[in-house]
Amino acid sequence: MNDAPLTSATLANPVEPAERLPLGALLALATAGFITVLTEAMPAGLLPQMSTGLDVSQALIGQLVTLYAIGSMLAAIPLTIATRGWRRRPLLLSAIGGFAIANSITALSEWYWLTLIARFIAGVFAGLLWALLAGYASRMVAPHLQGRAITVAMLGAPLALSLGIPAGTLLGTMVGWRLSFAIMSAMTVLLVIWVRWQVPDFAGERAGKRLPLRQVFTLPGVRSVLFVTLSYVVAHNLLYTYIAPFLEPSGLGAEIDRVLLVFGLASVLSLWIVASLIDRWLRELVLISTTLFLLSAIALALWREIPGVVYAATAVWGLAFGAMPSLLQTASAKTAKDAADTAQSMLVTLWNVGIAGGGLAGGLLLANPGVSAFPWIVAGLLILTLWATANARQHGFPRAE
């Protein structure tokens, strides 16, 4: 495996890569991810309150999440390419600051259309932020610590899903949805100060060294990583998006919050386990994660009417999924090297396509053949994921030396 530093040629980095994890800086990046995911999903937990406050249906409030995802999907690649020459910290601060603006508008808006615009803007900044995080984390450390650094920087997403969103929903119920978004804006302002204090700055790519998008896409291994990302994320979201109707036969429809908590806690545990192994066993961990998810899907297909099996399979699924974003981000960064940010922007775009694709496919399949077919379709997608990973043994997911 070629572990050459990502910044040696094109970034003119004045900061020497650290031989120890700079936890203060990495946790600041993790907090940025936490706020990003919390901002994205908050309306889903506050549908009734926001519906009443903006005087529209709950279905229309649901589109606030859709517009956010569309903003991320449309903006990640063009914004990343347009800002490749910018210094990294000012760009990171601009992306984070965008959330303070968007969430403040959401908190104050009395009009649904203005809230929609704010949500789209927040999604745009999210697309840029996710494209930056992995490459930024990897630049802070020596090559043998890059995977571990990315894992720490990605910690905010599963924490937001498992703890932040339930806590945010509870907060919104207690103090109102407007104050909840205002509190997130205040958190973002504090994060800007934290980043300015702890996170080092890096130069952007030199004009003569910037690879065109098509050339980055054709780098050895990049397409394999992108294919694995898309197939895995579609499989995950096909089942995750429609977990509520899927739980009905087991009698767990009223316990969806507990099921998702089990999933979230297992996801966080997964990151803790993988953190110390990712730089040495990246390929193996992707294969293990996919296999665990596959076994979980088969168990849900065969015994989904048994509550104990559902809880156990959900825990295994969470264990499989929790570290997968870090694994894929690390594979992308190591494969693309100096073009890491551009490759990450493609990964972010496909991740959002996978979210939308899983939701759309599930909606079409919900009536016929119904949710009983979901785990088998997921299993088929995961077999494709295993095949693509296994065949990317030279580039993308190379064997450990």
> What's the token pair of residue 363?
């909606």
Please give the CATH number for the structural domain made up of 213-391: 1.20.1250.20
The CATH number assigned to the domain with range 23-207 reads 1.20.1250.20
Listed in sequence order, the residues at least 6 apart from 272 whose beta carbon sits closer than 8 Å to its beta carbon are: none
Long-range CB contact pairs, 351-354, < 8 A, 24+? 351/130, 351/229, 351/233, 351/325, 352/69, 352/72, 352/73, 352/76, 352/127, 353/73, 353/230, 354/229, 354/230, 354/232, 354/233, 354/234, 354/236, 354/237
- What residues in the chain have per-residue pLDDT under 70? 1-18, 207-209, 400-401
Q: How far apart (Å, rounded) are the C-alpha atoms in residues 108 and 364?
A: 36
pLDDT for 261:
82
SS (H, E, C) 79-147: HHHHCCCCCHHHHHHHHHHHHHHHHHHHHHCCCHHHHHHHHHHHHHHHHHHHHHHHHHHHHCECHHHHH
- Spatial neighbors of 108 by CB under 8 A, at least 6 apart, are 178
Are 301 and 353 contacting, i.e. CB atoms less than 8 angstroms apart? Answer: no
DSSP-assigned beta bridge partners for residue 18: 141
Amino acid 366: pLDDT: 77
Mean pLDDT of the chain: 85
Rg (C-alpha) for the chain, rounded Å, is: 20
Q: Could you report the per-residue pLDDT of 96-125, keeping only the tens digit for each?
A: 999 999 999 999 999 999 999 999 999 999
Q: Where are the domains of the chain?
A: 23-207, 213-391
N-terminal to C-terminal alpha carbon distance within the chain: 6
Q: Which helix (H) or strand (E) holds 238?
A: helix 222-241
pLDDT digits (tens, 9 = 90+) for 150-192: 888 888 887 887 777 777 777 887 888 999 999 999 999 999 9
Whether 23-207 and 213-391 share one fold: the answer is yes
Q: What is the pLDDT of residue 85?
A: 84
**Model's pTM, two decimal places?**
0.80
Q: Are 379 and 231 in contact (CB under 8 A)?
A: no
Q: Which two tokens stand for residue 45?
A: 């937990």
Residue 401 CB contacts under 8 Å (≥ 6 apart), including other chains: 1
Q: Please name the amino acid found at residue 45.
A: G
pLDDT score, position 35 = 92
pLDDT of residue 13: 45
Segment (H or E) for 19? none
- Percent of the chain whose pLDDT exceeds 90: 38
Rounded to whole angstroms, how far apart are CA atoms 285 and 278? Answer: 7
Measured CA to CA, the distance from residue 370 to residue 60 in angstroms comes to: 25
Supply 284's token pair.
Answer: 């193996």
pLDDT score, position 7: 38
